[in-house]
């Protein structure tokens, strides 16, 4: 099929229409950031010691690894795979770190993008998949009413730490808050 000057103008017009709405993919250097994340926290002689891992992830590294293995076995989205171009995708550590940062710190997807070098849609999908996997995997064991023995164990533990009856008073309002802001004073008292 021969193309004349009219068809060239139509093609150019379509290209001009598409340009403003189409954005280029950002080169996030995801493999480099994944390697840096592993070097920072997950290898034997990592850049940051275990105390930093505990502070930043709010858990021990062995617990993170246990959760990551369980989530990867439950949902293949979290597992690293080749993308459509044949390049290796994001590491499971990157996806789970992004989800945990959002859950732990209340960070937005844009804030996590700067840390994990992932797109907003990928971050949000990772968060949804992670939460779904955690709910499916751990509901039967952890998201249930405590047994009588478990409740007794918790009561003994909190009593040793100086919080008797903590289970009965979930917000512990009967305790005096030494550094409580004056604006909040009595705001939560006598709630049933």
Return the pLDDT at 84.
81
Rg over alpha carbons for the chain, rounded to the nearest Å, is 25
Distance CA(115)–CA(158), nearest Å, equals 36
Reported pTM: 0.63
| Whole-number pLDDT of residue 33 | 82
pLDDT value at position 127? 94
Burial code of 1-40, b = ≥16 C-beta within 10 A, e = fewer?
eeeeeeeeeeeeeeeeeeeeeeeeeeeeebeebbeebeee
**Cβ–Cβ under 8 Å, residues 154 and 167:** yes
pLDDT at 14: 47
Nearest Cα to Cα of residue 103 among 140, 74, 134: 134
Residues (pLDDT < 50) of the chain are 1, 10-11, 13-18, 192
Measured between its terminal Cα atoms, the distance across the chain in Å is: 79
């Amino acid at each position: 099929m021969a193309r004349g000057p009219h068809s060239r103008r139509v093609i150019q017009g379509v290209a001009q229409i598409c340009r403003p709405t189409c954005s280029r993919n950002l080169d996030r250097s995801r493999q480099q950031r994944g390697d840096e994340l592993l070097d920072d926290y997950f290898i034997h002689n990592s850049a940051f010691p275990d105390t930093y891992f505990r502070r930043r992830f709010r858990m021990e590294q062995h617990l993170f690894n246990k959760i990551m293995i369980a989530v990867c076995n439950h949902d293949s989205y979290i597992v690293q795979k080749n993308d459509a171009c044949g390049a290796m995708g994001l590491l499971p550590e990157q996806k789970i770190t992004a989800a945990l940062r959002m859950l732990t710190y209340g960070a937005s997807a844009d804030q996590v993008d700067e840390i994990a070098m992932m797109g907003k849609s990928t971050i949000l999908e990772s968060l949804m998949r992670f939460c779904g996997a955690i709910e499916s995997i751990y509901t039967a064991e952890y998201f249930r009413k405590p047994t009588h023995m478990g409740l007794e164990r918790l009561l003994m533990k909190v009593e040793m730490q100086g919080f008797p009856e903590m289970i009965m008073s979930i917000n512990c309002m009967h305790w005096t808050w030494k550094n409580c802001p004056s604006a909040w004073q009595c705001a939560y008292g006598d709630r049933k």
